[in-house]
Amino acid sequence: MLRSLYIQNYALIEKLDINFDSGFSVITGETGAGKSIILGAIGLLLGQRADVKSIRTGASKCVIEARFDISAYGMQPFFEENELEYEEECILRREVYASGKSRAFINDTPASLAQMKELGELLIDVHSQHQNLLLNKEGFQLNVLDILSHNEEVLAAYQSVHKEWKQALYDLEKIIARAEQDKADEDYIRFQLEQLEEARLSEGEQEELEQEADTLSHAEEIKAGLYRAGQILYSDEGGLLSGLKDCLNTMIGLQNVFPVAGELAERLESTYIELKDISQEISGKEEEVEFNPARLEEVNERLNLIYTLQQKHRVSTIGELLALENEYAMKLSAITSSEEDIEKLKASCDVLYNKVKKQAAVLTKARTAAAREVEKQMASRLVPLGMPNVRFQVEMGTRKEPGMHGIDTVNFLFSANKNGTLQNISSVASGGEIARVMLSVKAMIAGAVKLPTIVFDEIDTGVSGEIADRMADIMQEMGESNRQVISITHLPQIAARGRAHYKVYKQDNEKETNSHIRRLTDNERVEEIAHMLSGATLTEAALNNARALLGGT
C-alpha cells in the first residue's frame, strides 16, 4: 500500500512530502486547490505520458516518487520476471526533464514505462470520474466477470490457442495469396526456367570460351609467331640449336687439356636439351593452332547467348544464372505443391478453431456463473444505497467470431424503478446512480483482487445525505483486510469517516502560488468539516454538527 508520496516542481507544487496510513483516508480541499494535480503526479508513476508543460515554471525537471509496502501481496514473480531486485518496500520514481526526456525507476533501477505501468496496475487503482464511463464499455464489463470468476489461467490458455489459431489463419491467407500470384506468374517462370535449362550452362564455361575466342581471333598471328620462333631455334643454317651444338662439341674437345671446359660442356648440354624441348613444344603448338572460322563463329554464338542471358537477368556470372535457374525450379515446385500445403493448413486451422471453441466454452461457463453472482451482489449492494427497486442484469451474448477475450459479449442492464425497462446502464442511470453502481462494482472487485491501494476521485458526485453515509460505509469496509482506500471528496459525511484526513490547499506569496497537502489534527478536522457543512463562515451549529459526524465514526 502507498506509504508516502514525494512531488517536486510539478505544476503548482514546489515540494510536497506526505505519508499515508492504511485503512480508509480522505482528502478534501477547495476546487482548484490541487487535488487533480496530485492525481496527475500519481498517474506519471503509473506509466502515463509525460508533458513538459507540467514542469513547474523555471524548473529544469520534476520528480515524483512513491513508496509502497508490498510485503503482504506476493509480488515477487513480477520482479523475478523483469530481473528487478525485490524489496518489501517498493520505490517508484519518475523524472521528467524540460528537454522532453523522461526517466523511470523501480527500486532505483532504470525501468521502462511498460514495466512501471504493469507494476503500477498491481499496486494502485485510481478511480476518476471519467472512469464511470467504463460501465458502458464491454471490455470493462467482461473484465469484471473474469476477475470474479478468477479466470486468469483459463483466459491465458484461451488466448494462447487463439493466438495460434489467428497465426495459422494469417499463414493460410498468405500462402493462398502467394499461390494465386504464383499461378499468375507460372507461365512466365516456366518460360524463364526452360530457357535457362536449354542453355545447359556450366561453371567456368564463360572464361574458357572467352579465352578460346581470343585464340581463334588471332590464329594467324599466333601461328606466324610460333613458326618464326621455331625457325630461330631449329634452322639448319644459323639456328640457335645448331650453333649451341657446335659450342658443346668444342667444349667437350677441350676438357682433357682444360678441365673447366668440362663444367661448361655440362651446362651447355643442359641448355641444349631445354631449348630442344622448347623448340619441339613450339612446333607442336604451331600444328595445333589453326584458323577455324566455323569454330570461332560457334564460340561467339555461345558467348552471345551467355551475354544475352546475363543482360536479361541483370547478372554478371554464369554462377548467378545457375542460381536463378535453381530458384525458378523451386518456385515451380512450390506452385505444384501449394495446393497440398493449403489443404494441410486448412486442416490445421480447423483443428485449432475447435480448440478455441472448446476453451471459449470453458470461459463462457465460468462467466455465466459469475454473471449470476454479479446480479445478486449488485442488487444487495445497491438497495442500501437508496435504490430499493433496483434491478441489475448481466446480459450475455455470443460473437460471430472468437476474439482475444473469448466469444462472449456482455452488457450491464439497469433499472432503478419498479416500472422501468431494463436498459443499458449508461442510457438510463443518472450521474449519482452511476457513481453508486461503480462504487458497488469496485467494492465487489476489491473482494476478489489483492489490490493494495484504491483511490476514489469524487466518486460521491451527485449524492448526499444518507446515501453519502452509506457510500462511506462501503469505502470504510473496503479499507479493511490489509487494504488502503483514499477518497477525494466534497461531502462532510464521507470526510468524517476517514481514519486520516488530509487537506489540499493553495498559498500565495509575492511571486507565485503553491499547492500543499497536510494531515489535519483532530481540531482541524472539526473546523474543516464544519466549513464543508456551512461554507466560509464558521457557525457554532456547524461545529457541533461536525463534532457529531466525527463522533459517529
pLDDT in tens, 121-133: 888 888 875 554 4
Which pLDDT belongs to residue 161? 95
- CA 170 to chain CA centroid, Å, is 19
Contact 397, 412 (CB under 8 A): no
Which pLDDT belongs to residue 136? 58
If one compares 184 and 143, the residue with the highest pLDDT of the two is 143
Which pLDDT belongs to residue 195? 92
How far, in Å, CA of 289 to CA of 300, rounded? 18
Q: At what angle do helices 240-254 and 219-234 cross, to 10 degrees?
A: 20
Is the pLDDT at 253 greater than 80? The verdict is yes
How far, in Å, CA of 355 to CA of 10, rounded? 52
How far, in Å, CA of 12 to CA of 513, rounded? 7
Which pLDDT belongs to residue 122? 85
Mean pLDDT, range 154-180, rounded to an integer: 91
Range with lowest mean pLDDT among 37-41, 348-352, 423-427: 423-427
Is the pLDDT at 83 greater than 70? The verdict is yes
- Provide φ and ψ at 236, rounded to 5°: -65, -30
Which pLDDT belongs to residue 552? 57
Which pLDDT belongs to residue 446? 77
Is the pLDDT at 138 greater than 80? The verdict is no
pLDDT interval class at 175 (50, 70, 90): confident
Q: Where do we find the cell 523524472?
A: 95
How far, in Å, CA of 37 to CA of 488, rounded? 12
Percent of the chain whose predicted confidence (pLDDT) is above 70? 97
Which residues, including other chains, have CB under 8 Å from residue 1's CB and lie 6 or more apart?
20, 22, 68, 69, 452, 453, 482, 483, 484
Which pLDDT belongs to residue 134? 55
Q: What is the pLDDT of residues 11-70, one digit of tens each?
A: 999 999 999 988 999 999 988 888 888 988 999 998 888 888 889 988 999 999 999 998
Amino acid identity for residue 82 in this structure: N
Neighbours of 84 (CB within 10 A): 16
If one compares 339 and 312, the residue with the highest pLDDT of the two is 312
pLDDT interval class at 111 (50, 70, 90): very high
Q: What is the pLDDT of residues 260-308, one digit of tens each?
A: 998 999 999 999 899 989 988 888 888 788 888 888 899 899 999 999 9
Range with lowest mean pLDDT among 366-370, 386-390, 448-452: 448-452
- Helix (H) / strand (E) containing 328: helix 318-382
Between strands 406-415 and 391-403, the pairing is antiparallel
Contact 137, 425 (CB under 8 A): no
Which pLDDT belongs to residue 452? 85
Percent of the chain whose predicted confidence (pLDDT) is above 90? 43
How far, in Å, CA of 137 to CA of 148, rounded? 17
How far, in Å, CA of 153 to CA of 159, rounded? 10
Amino acid identity for residue 414 in this structure: F
How far, in Å, CA of 453 to CA of 485, rounded? 6
Is the pLDDT at 408 greater than 60? The verdict is yes
Contact 433, 392 (CB under 8 A): no
Between strands 23-28 and 61-69, the pairing is unpaired
Which pLDDT belongs to residue 15? 92
How high is the mean pLDDT of the chain? 88
Domains of the chain: 2-150+416-520 (3.40.50.300), 180-335 (no CATH)
Q: What is the pLDDT of residues 94-108, one digit of tens each?
A: 999 999 899 999 999
What pairs with residue 256 in β-bridges? none
Which pLDDT belongs to residue 338? 73
Is the pLDDT at 82 greater than 80? The verdict is yes
Contact 92, 66 (CB under 8 A): yes
Q: What is the pLDDT of residues 501-546, one digit of tens each?
A: 999 999 888 888 899 999 999 999 999 999 988 877 888 888 999 9
Contact 507, 474 (CB under 8 A): no
Contact 88, 70 (CB under 8 A): yes
- DSSP code string of 334-353: HHHHHHHHHHHHHHHHHHHH
- Helix (H) / strand (E) containing 163: helix 152-199
- Picking from 111, 179, 522, 112, the residue whose alpha carbon sits closest to that of residue 337 is 179
Which pLDDT belongs to residue 313? 93
Which pLDDT belongs to residue 287? 79
Range with lowest mean pLDDT among 129-138, 228-237, 409-418: 129-138
Between strands 453-457 and 484-488, the pairing is parallel
pLDDT interval class at 312 (50, 70, 90): very high
Mean pLDDT, range 241-250, rounded to an integer: 88
Contact 546, 492 (CB under 8 A): yes
Positive or negative CA dihedral for 51, 57, 63, 64?
Answer: negative
How far, in Å, CA of 116 to CA of 119, rounded? 5
How buried is residue 216: exposed, middle or buried, by Cβ count under 10 Å (0-12/13-18/19+)? Answer: buried
Which pLDDT belongs to residue 131? 55
Sort residue 458 into left (φ over 0), alpha (ψ -120 to 50) or beta. left
Supply the DSSP symbol for 497.
T
If one compares 182 and 532, the residue with the highest pLDDT of the two is 532
Give this prediction's pTM: 0.64
